[in-house]
């Protein structure tokens, strides 16, 4: 059993939490992939036409994860999952106000952090230029948060008051993209950088106002930020990159395709 009095145990606990964080990010990717499947095909279609071997393996993996994390829930009383918000009944004027709050927040965060940002390194630009246009990479500024967290947005209190209890926990996210400024809270990896840059492309293609509207309305519709189409697409492209980091493709073309097809 680990004890905080032993230095080696403390190192093991830090490592455990790092691996837990990695597992949580991988599960977000899996959740997004499942959400894409769910949005396009009914459960009856998947059950009837899905390849049996693939379906059997997917169910086995999901069941094993459910069993493991359900055990953790039984051990810790405050781990019960948060129910998704029921926000579909919000008045349109409140939705419009929420969009404005978020838009101003994104812009203000960009203005606050950009002066502290640094350019991508030569190695980062070399690896990312296989997927992103040079002008976008040249304009990106990176900020590494050391021993600090992004505070909760000021409008969260009002949002929670109307029943939105499943808001993104910004202080615990690996990266945050504010247009062309990217914040990292726990180290920069190629995969995290790629994901953040996908959002930078979305901002570029859609513009701040349209991006914000799509994100807010998407969140109110699905009740979870990882299931918002903008986020799902970022996870999807991130997964493609992770599987073949040396095979180039244009993220901007993919974003424009989803935009033109109305998939955001």
pLDDT digits (tens, 9 = 90+) for 107-127: 999 999 999 999 999 999 999
Confirm if 140 and 183 have CB atoms less than 8 A apart: no
pLDDT band at residue 85 using 50, 70 and 90 as cut-offs: very low
Length of the chain: 264
Number of alpha helices (DSSP H) and beta strands (DSSP E) in the chain: 11, 3
Q: Which residues pair with 210 in a beta bridge?
A: none
User: pTM, whole model, 2 decimals?
Assistant: 0.71
The C-alpha angle 185, 175, 248, rounded to 5 degrees, equals 130
pLDDT digits (tens, 9 = 90+) for 178-233: 999 999 987 899 999 999 999 999 999 999 999 999 999 999 988 888 889 999 99
């Amino acid at each position: 059993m680990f004890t905080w009095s032993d230095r080696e145990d403390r190192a093991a606990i830090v490592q455990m939490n790092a691996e837990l964080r990695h597992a949580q990010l991988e599960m977000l990717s899996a959740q997004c992939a499942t959400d894409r499947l769910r949005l396009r095909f009914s459960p009856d279609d998947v059950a009837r036409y899905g390849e049996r071997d693939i379906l059997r393996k997917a169910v086995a993996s999901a069941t094993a994860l459910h069993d493991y994390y359900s055990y953790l829930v039984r051990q810790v009383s405050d781990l019960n999952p948060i129910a998704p918000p029921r926000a579909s009944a919000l008045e349109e004027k409140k939705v419009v106000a929420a969009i404005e709050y978020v838009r101003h927040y994104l812009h203000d965060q960009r203005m606050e952090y950009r002066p502290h940002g640094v350019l991508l390194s030569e190695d980062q630009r070399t690896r990312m230029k296989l997927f992103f246009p040079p002008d976008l990479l040249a304009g990106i500024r990176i900020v590494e948060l050391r021993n600090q967290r992004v505070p909760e947005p000021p409008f969260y209190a009002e949002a929670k008051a109307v029943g939105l209890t499943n808001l993104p926990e910004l202080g615990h996210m690996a990266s945050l993209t504010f247009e062309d400024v990217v914040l990292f809270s726990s180290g920069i990896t190629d995969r995290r950088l790629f994901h953040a840059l996908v959002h930078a492309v979305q901002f570029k293609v859609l513009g701040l106002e349209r991006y914000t509207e799509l994100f807010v309305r998407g969140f109110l519709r699905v009740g979870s930020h990882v299931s918002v189409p903008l986020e799902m697409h970022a996870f999807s492209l991130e997964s493609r990159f992770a599987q073949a980091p040396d095979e180039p493709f244009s993220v901007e073309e993919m974003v424009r395709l989803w935009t033109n097809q109305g998939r955001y």
